Amino acid sequence: MAEVTFRQALHDTLREELLRDENVFLMGEEIGVFEGSYKITAGLLKEFGSKRIVDTPISENGFVGLAAGAAMLGLRPVVEIMTINFIILAMDEIVNHAAKIYYMFGGQTPVPMVIRTPGGGGQQLSATHSQNLEVWFAHVPGLKVMAPATPHDAKGMLRTAIRDNNPVLFLENLALYNTKGEVADGDYTIPFGKAKVMKEGNDLTIVSYSRMATVALDVARRIERESGLSIEVVDLRSLRPLDKETIVNSVKKTNRAIVFEEDWRTYGIGAEIAALIQEDAFDYLDAPIKRVASVEVPLPYAKPLEIAALTSTKQLIDVINEIAPRRRRR
């Protein structure tokens, strides 16, 4: 066990996979000479050379499609999109091509590729640089979507993503890169569709993923210390496929659920989870399922407005107080 940053965990995993498999190569804007906009790929060009670490022009649809074509011939590209906002330019190659090729051609050629990209707001990057678009991808059959919350999970999940034979969206979060956590030794992997119960509890379930899962965990621990309310925190980790069983089992135990997400509320991940819970655990619910999400505006620049638009600890605590079992309300 060693404590490393999220950034280091990603870097180390990419390096290990490059060493492990000749067919793995990295591709993206500024990942080589510039060493990565967020320095995930620092040093890799020097170590592996320009054949394996491929700098691209600002041409997202072109190089994402190029990666998919290379994957059709058996390479295993790991593409970095500088931020998730720029992935919109590549939607045709991701949704119409990478996600469809295996099915549409009758299972003749898989497309083993990973697209890594950070999302998230809170850095005053304003409307076009602060989005959470995971639901766009989680909606599409043929894609797999992962969104780790901790350095340990980032490592095990990125290994799984790179070794998988399907197009995988691996969603990171800008505000997680400097966070630290214990990472296990050895070549462990974390499978798709396996949520993690980050903290067990009996009174209420918070379902979350990525950075918001870590925020939820902090809130749950604090409230438990302060008021004795026992909150279970479920980190989805994988958005497609989704681990329905862990979510439903948790709600059957606690009878209350909040979905905590950084994306917009309407048609968001929370809408899907809420629908799933009412379908499979309707009789167990003692309160309405709540969604705590960001408000529905393009994210503004001015700091007070940005703070007002993004969901955070305060919104989560308010909703916990609203639906917690009465005897335990603060």
Partner 1 sequence: MNTEQKKQVKASGTSATSEPGIATLPENEDKDTLLAYYHNMVLIRQFEEKSSEMYRKARIGGYCHLNLGEEATVVGFCAGLAPTDYVYTNYREHGYALCRGISANATMAELFGKVTGCARGRGGSMHLFDKERRFMGGYGIVGGQLPLAAGAAFAVKYKGGSEIVACQMGDGATNGGPFHESLNLAKIYHLPVIFFIVNNGYGMGLKVEKGSAIPELYRKACAYDILSERVDGTDVLAVRDAMLRAARVAREQHEPVLIEAVSFRFKGHSVVDPDQYRDKEEVLRGRTLDPIDFFAKRLRAAGLLDDDKIRAIDYQVEQEVEEAVRFAEDSPFPSEDTLFDYVYADDQA
| Interface ranges with partner 1 (CB under 8 A) | 21, 23, 25, 51, 54, 56-57, 59, 61-76, 92-93, 96-97, 101-112, 141-142, 144, 162-166
What the block records as the tokens of 289 is 């399922």
Which is closer to partner 1, CB of 20 or CB of 329?
20
28/59 Cα distance (integer angstroms): 9
What DSSP string describes 263-284? EESTTSHHHHHHHHHHHHHGGG
What the block records as the tokens of 258 is 């909040």
Least distance to partner 1, CB of residue 239, Å:
15
Cα dist. 237→12, 132, 172, 212 in Å? 20, 15, 11, 11
Q: Note if 3 is an active site residue.
A: no
Least distance to partner 1, CB of residue 327, Å:
46
Cα dist. 88→31, 59, 63, 95, 107 in Å? 19, 11, 13, 11, 27
Which is closer to partner 1, CB of 68 or CB of 281?
68
Contacts of 329 (CB under 8 A, 6+ apart): 321
In the DSSP assignment, the letter for residue 122 is: -
| Angle at CA of residue 168, ends 208 and 123, nearest 5° | 50
The active-site residue out of 11, 97, 129, 152 is 129
Strands 257-264 and 231-235: unpaired
64/51 Cα distance (integer angstroms): 17
The active-site residue out of 11, 17, 29, 60 is 60
253/202 Cα distance (integer angstroms): 6
308/51 Cα distance (integer angstroms): 46
- 130: phi then psi, degrees, rounded to nearest 5: -140, 25
- Give the number of C-alpha atoms closer than 13 A to the C-alpha of residue 311, restricted to the C-beta side: 26
Which is closer to partner 1, CB of 162 or CB of 309?
162
Q: Which of 200, 222, 209 is nearest to 176 (CA)?
A: 209
Q: Note if 11 is an active site residue.
A: no
Residues in the chain, overall count: 330
Residues with catalytic function = 60, 129
